Amino acid sequence: MRQKSISFLILKTFLYYLIYNLACTFFIIATVSMIGLNVYRIFLCVFYLLGMYFMVFVTAKRDGERDHNLLKYEHISRINKYKWLKIGFIIVLLTIIPELFLIINKLKIIEGNLLLLYAFLNGVKYPLVLIMAKNLLISQITFFMIFILISCCLPLPAVGYFGYYSGYKLIDIKSKIMYE
C-alpha cells in the first residue's frame, strides 16, 4: 500500500467538485419555478456551500484515516500533515475560474452576457448570483460581489486540513454530535 499522491488527491477532489457542481446546476434548473423566492435562494446558497465544504472534509478525512493506517502498520515512515492545505489552495484556484469569466465580462473584454455560462460552470454559487443580479445582467454585478463569490471558496484549505487532521487522529465527529 502506498500513500496517495497530492496530484491524485487534487484530481479526485476536483472531480467530486465538478460532479457536485453539475448536480447543483441540474437542481436549480429543476426548481426554477421556486427560484423567485429570496428565502429559497438563500437556502440554496447555504445548502450548496455547506455541501461543498462537506465534500472536501470527507475526502480529506478518508485520506487522513488511510495515512493513519499506513503509518500505524509501518508502510510509510512519515506523513505530510499540511498536504491538505496545499490541496485546498489549489482547489480554491480551480474553483474561482468561473469568476474569471465574470471579471472578463465585466471589463467588457468579451461582449455579451456570460451569466448563463457562469450558471453552468458554477452551479454551487449561482443562487448567490441570483440574489445579487435580479434581472441576470452583468451590469448589476459589481467587483465587490465577485469578491464575495471568490471568498466563498476561501475556507476550503482550512476545511481540508481539519478533515485530514480529524481522520488522522481518528476523531469521530459524527458520534460526538449524535451521542453527546
Are the CB atoms for 123 and 21 separated by under 8 Å?
yes
3-state secondary structure of 138: helix
- Least confident piece of the model among 66-75, 96-105, 131-140: 131-140
Number of domains making up the chain = 1
State which amino acid sits at residue 113: N
Q: Is residue 15 part of a domain?
A: yes
Predicted local confidence at residue 147, as pLDDT: 93
Q: How far from 52 is each of 1, 19, 26, 44, 47, CA to CA, in Å?
A: 29, 11, 16, 12, 9
Answer yes or no: are the C-beta atoms of 150 and 115 closer than 8 Å.
Answer: no
Here the cell at position 52 is 461543498
Cβ–Cβ contacts within 10 Å for residue 119, how many? 20
> Comparing 22-36, 93-107, 154-168, which segment has the lowest mean pLDDT?
22-36
In the predicted structure, residue 137 carries a pLDDT above the cut 80:
no
Mean pLDDT for 112-120 is 79
Q: What is the mean pLDDT of the chain?
A: 88
Task: State whether residue 10 is helix, strand or coil.
Answer: helix
- pLDDT at site 1: 66
pLDDT of residue 35: 67
Describe the chain by its helix, strand, coil percentages, rounded to 5: 70, 0, 30
The answer to whether residue 146 is domain-embedded is: yes
Q: Which domain does 71 fall in, by range?
A: 6-179
Q: Is residue 114 part of a domain?
A: yes
Q: How large a percentage of the chain has pLDDT more than 70?
A: 97
DSSP annotation of 96 = T
More confident site: 113 or 79: 79
Q: Which of 30-34, 39-43, 112-116 has the highest mean pLDDT?
A: 39-43
Residue 33 falls inside a structural domain: yes
Domain annotation covers residue 1: no
Specify whether the CB–CB gap between 64 and 164 falls below 8 A: yes
140-173, pLDDT tens digit by residue?
888 999 999 999 999 999 999 999 999 999 998 8
In the Cβ-directed half-sphere of 67, how many Cα atoms lie within 13 Å?
Answer: 26
Residue 152 lies inside a defined structural domain of this protein? yes
**Does pLDDT of 85 surpass 80?**
yes
Query: What pLDDT is attached to residue 52?
Result: 94
Between vectors from CA 165 to CA 162 and to CA 169, what angle results, nearest 5°? 140
State the pLDDT at residue 141.
Answer: 85
Q: Would you state the pLDDT for residue 30?
A: 82
